[in-house]
Amino acid sequence: MSAALYCLVVVIWGTTWIAIFLQQGHVPAPVSIFWRFAVATALLMVFLKLTGKLRRLALRDHLFCLLQGCCVFCFNFWCFYTAARWINTGLESVIFSMAVLFNAINSFLFYRQQPPGRFYIAALLGAVGIVTLFWQDLRTSGLSGELLAGIGLSALGTYGFSLGNMISIRHQRRGLQTLSTNAWAMLYGTLMMGAIALACGDSFTVDWTLNYLGSLLYLALFGSVIAFGAYFTLVGRIGPANAAYSTLLFPLIALAISTFYEGYVWHASAFAGLGLILVGNLVMFARPADWLRHRRKARLPA
């Protein structure tokens, strides 16, 4: 089950970055984010109501859902959408891979959870792989103000996502259903984003083109309802550090798509980085001790 959830998150979130690219245009970022999560919230709430799975929460739990909504369904995406004006969305997805490190740090700060030793090796391989993957682009682009702003906003949005992970752990430790807390958090994040759009004086008119509406619906249903539900369920099953390691793999999908839509150019360093990230995945999830124990048991006489 965990493997299926992991693959689902990787595939969906690997394709949402190009959808964010398609959202760029005349519609302000707060408005695009508002409509994305407004549609997602409506779909999720209707589904939970019809299936009788929408659970009531205590006031304190609602307050934490409000905080989670601000972290995961509001301010972090405002950072990502704004950063997409200045940097390639494939690069954004790679920066998002820092969620692995942020989750490990925040898990220790908030819950005193010490990650397994292999995590540090896997994270190091992944981090080196990411730097190697983009080494040529970083050398040729230079450290312009727009590039630094794009990187900084992407990192800030990723840290907000990590804080949302910590709140999700709190929900699940209290025995709260993931889909219900996601629905309430998404609702609060949507309302907060709508308030920001109003404060900025933005019009809520959308772009009635196939690219914009198609990407909006994909981000709402797959990128928000399905992927976030799968991801936070995964957080509860294998922990935030292990779950966040999926963020080291889906950038490969994002980069492959970016090659065709945003003109990303592959170099030798990019292929070397790809290899390091894949090895990091193997280190994280391959457990030699468990495999050897299984082999020894298989050899024992019945």
Q: Where are the beta strands (DSSP E) in 43-187?
A: none
Q: What is the pLDDT of residues 94-127, one digit of tens each?
A: 888 888 778 888 988 999 888 777 778 888 887 8
- As to burial, measured by CB atoms within 10 angstroms (0-12 exposed, 13-18 middle, 19+ buried), residue 58 is exposed
pLDDT digits (tens, 9 = 90+) for 236-258: 888 776 777 777 778 888 888 88
Could you give the percent of the chain with pLDDT greater than 90? Answer: 48
**Structure-model confidence comparison of residues 59 and 108, the more confident one:** 59
- pLDDT band for position 286 (cuts 50, 70, 90): low
Name the least confident of 142-146, 149-153, 236-240: 142-146
CA nearest 90: which of 270, 247, 258? 258
Query: Whole-angstrom Cα distance, residue 216 to residue 149?
Result: 25
- Considering the chain, what is the average pLDDT of its residues? 86
* Region 152-181 average pLDDT: 93
Comparing 19-33, 92-106, 167-181, the range with the smallest average pLDDT is 92-106
CA–CA dist 96, 76 (Å, integer): 11
Rounded to 5°, the CA angle 218-281-105 comes to: 85
Using the predicted structure, report yes or no on whether residue 2 has a pLDDT greater than 90.
Answer: no
| 29-33, 111-115, 234-238, 277-281, range with the lowest pLDDT | 277-281
Distance (Å) of CA 122 to CA 8, 129, 252, 274, 281: 21, 10, 16, 14, 7
CB 187 within 8 A of CB 179: no
- pTM surpassing 0.75? yes
Model pLDDT, residue 31: 97
